[in-house]
Amino acid sequence: MSTGPVSTHSEMTAPIHEMGVAALAGALRGGRLSAVEAARHQLDRMRQHQALGAFVAVDEDLTLAQARAADARIAAGDAAPLAGVPIAHKDIFVTAGLPTSAGSRILAGYRSPFDATVVRRLAEAGAVTLGKLSCDEFAMGSANENVAVPALGFDHAVPARNPWQTDRIPGGSSGGSAVAVAARLAAAATGTDTGGSIRQPASFCGVTGIKPTYGRASRYGMVAFASSLDQAGPMARSAEDCALLLSAMCGPDPDRDSTSLDRPAEDFSLRLADSLEGLRIGVPREFLGDGVAPGVRAAVEAALSEYEKLGARRVEITLPLTQLSIPVYYILAAAEASSNLSRFDGVKFGHRASNYADPSSRKSALEQMYESTREEGFGDEVKRRIMIGTYVLSHGYYDAYYLQAQKVRRMIANDFQQAFKHCDLIAGPAAPTVAWKLGAHGDDPVADYLADIFTLPASLAGLPGMSVPAGFDDGMPVGLQLIGDYCAEARLLNAAHRFQEATDWHLRKPAGF
């Protein structure tokens, strides 16, 4: 049993939930705070704000056991970088200790026999898990409205709510992660980004999030949506905090993830303070066109001016296929999803329909069981994407849709390489607007798809991207998106950190939290 350091938290000025990852790690290592105290405080706070719908699974005993173990590690002099820091995981990462639903009825109550690599790496770095966070079903959504499992404190599925204005969506699919960080329910959270699912909710909730280069973080144990796009990354309240988490999360996983990059783990905190003197920031003209809300454009322009004050130089560039990234992405992601989700058949795990036999059907009992299970288990958006994916992969349509999309994908990636001849990183809005009202897109999935336009290009190219708080429009946060060349995460975090030293957008917090 841990004896843990004696709490002297009352000597500190900031409440525990106002402390970021770096501050918490320092206080924990310095014996000014115990991991158990930090965990208890955050668990209480999570219950107090459960109306936000951010959490979907919690196990206080498990969390406190992890916290006691962290206190013991610290007492024993083990300087794990995140020892005792309470974080939470998007419910798309499988966890042995907590159920994993991926937001879907078809996985309700599912318990994984193992931890995702990212979860394991963060645990090895000492982080304590507060629970699992709400997300769109199988990460398919831009609003966190496609959730099919109940949030903590609810007996029915609810979308997570944006703490800045609770009648607005938090963005998605890592909506619960963004809400938890913005509302100070956790110092940081994991997210995943397939077409913008870290950057867009980070933007909408006023937090900092980074998606690394495709292949940097292992996909092992991330419930698969679109395998050639899915990437894990951290969401936190500063670039400095994201760097700490990302350093723990990334690294090769050759035995478990066939597309894991053969690049050693890296300390992304080392270059945070580098000068931005002479940095060339490319601004794609397609990212500031008519479709961008005036308030968003103004915030991005102001951020670019701030960068010029920091010594950076603005360069006009073009990414001419930006508009096409929407159909290309939604073809490829749907195709990969239809294949990945074929494993949900009511046999090996998850839900199985109880009444499926229709004597009038020509289909076998097994086929009827598959169909009824999938009908009951999947939500509307997931079914739509499975349908689109199945169609574009079917005989006679594969070349015209799937293969054509993969070719345009290469053209989009090549355009980025052209652009990086003229600039060191790329900046623009993370999304054309701020967060919209719950239900505003109604029954029009294409309206959600169109709103992903600025995050999709970097996803298709597999480039690292992040969103950094950069102002407000209509009282709602605006995120500045930064896109780097392959494996340039350190440079992105450096640019974000210097911006956050010069501005206080990332320190603003929603009223009442």
Partner 1 sequence: MSLSSTDIARIASLARLRLAPDESQRMLGQINGFFELVEQMRSVDTSGVEPLAHPVAAVEDITLRLADDVVSEPNNREANQRSAPAVENGLFLVPKVIE
Q: Which residues are catalytic?
A: 90, 173, 197
Q: Return the residue of 2, 8, 228, 318 that touches partner 1, per CB under 8 A.
A: 228
Which of 72, 73, 63 has the alpha carbon at shortest distance from 41? 63
Q: Which residues contact 210 (CB under 8 A, 6 or more apart)?
A: 198, 233, 234, 239, 242, 246, 464, 465, 466, 489, 492, 493, 496
Pairing state of beta strands 188-193 and 231-236? antiparallel
The CA distance from 464 to 212, in Å, is 4
Would you say 19 or 392 has its CB closer to partner 1? 392
Would you say 316 or 363 has its CB closer to partner 1? 363
> What is the CB neighbour count within 10 angstroms for residue 294?
8
Q: Return the residue of 274, 295, 406, 440 that touches partner 1, per CB under 8 A.
A: 406
Q: Return the residue of 285, 343, 410, 422 that touches partner 1, per CB under 8 A.
A: 410
Q: What DSSP line would sit under 441-471, residue for residue?
A: TTT-HHHHHHTTTTTHHHHHHT--EEEEEEE
Would you say 98 or 299 has its CB closer to partner 1? 98
* Least distance from partner 1 to the Cβ atom of residue 370, Å: 4
Q: Give the pair of three-digit tokens for residue 328.
A: 């290309």
C-beta of residue 56 within 8 angstroms of C-beta of residue 150: yes
| Residues in 315-344 that interact with partner 1 by CB under 8 A | 321, 323-324, 326-328, 330-331, 338, 342
Would you say 127 or 334 has its CB closer to partner 1? 334
| Residues in 72-111 that interact with partner 1 by CB under 8 A | 109-111
> What is the CB neighbour count within 10 angstroms for residue 199?
33
Contacting range for partner 1; rule: CB under 8 A; set: 43-51, 183-191, 411-419, 497-505:
411-419
| Residues in 230-289 that interact with partner 1 by CB under 8 A | 254-255, 258-259, 261
* Least distance from partner 1 to the Cβ atom of residue 265, Å: 17
Would you say 55 or 344 has its CB closer to partner 1? 344
Kindly calculate the radius of gyration of the chain based on its CA atoms and give it in whole angstroms. 22
Which of 262, 239, 241 has the alpha carbon at shortest distance from 250? 262
The CA distance from 457 to 229, in Å, is 11
Q: Return the residue of 48, 275, 414, 418 that touches partner 1, per CB under 8 A.
A: 414
Contacting range for partner 1; rule: CB under 8 A; set: 42-50, 148-156, 202-210, 408-416:
408-416
Q: Return the residue of 138, 204, 287, 486 that touches partner 1, per CB under 8 A.
A: 486
The CA distance from 134 to 106, in Å, is 15
* Least distance from partner 1 to the Cβ atom of residue 405, Å: 7
Would you say 163 or 350 has its CB closer to partner 1? 350
| Residues in 449-468 that interact with partner 1 by CB under 8 A | 449, 460-463
* Least distance from partner 1 to the Cβ atom of residue 89, Å: 18
Pairing state of beta strands 465-473 and 208-211? antiparallel
3-class secondary-structure state, position 421: coil
* Least distance from partner 1 to the Cβ atom of residue 459, Å: 8
C-beta of residue 120 within 8 angstroms of C-beta of residue 217: no
Helix (H), strand (E) at residue 370: helix 365-377
* Least distance from partner 1 to the Cβ atom of residue 356, Å: 8
| Residues in 360-389 that interact with partner 1 by CB under 8 A | 364-372, 374-375, 378, 380, 383-384, 386-388
Q: Return the residue of 105, 351, 441, 491 that touches partner 1, per CB under 8 A.
A: 351
Q: Give the pair of three-digit tokens for residue 335.
A: 């195709």
Would you say 307 or 420 has its CB closer to partner 1? 420
Would you say 405 or 468 has its CB closer to partner 1? 405
The CA distance from 70 to 316, in Å, is 49
Q: Return the residue of 3, 154, 311, 407 that touches partner 1, per CB under 8 A.
A: 407
Applying CB under 8 A, does 418 fall inside the site for partner 1? no
Secondary structure of 285-313 in HEC code, one letter for each residue = HHHHCCCCCHHHHHHHHHHHHHHHHCCCE
* Least distance from partner 1 to the Cβ atom of residue 74, Å: 31
| Residues in 195-224 that interact with partner 1 by CB under 8 A | 213-215
What Å distances lie between residue 470 and 24, 173, 507, CA to CA? Answer: 24, 21, 11
Contacting range for partner 1; rule: CB under 8 A; set: 197-205, 274-282, 442-450, 491-499:
442-450
Would you say 182 or 369 has its CB closer to partner 1? 369
Q: Return the residue of 61, 277, 290, 443 that touches partner 1, per CB under 8 A.
A: 443
Count of residues that interact with partner 1, criterion CB under 8 A: 80
Side chain identity at residue 142, one-letter code: S
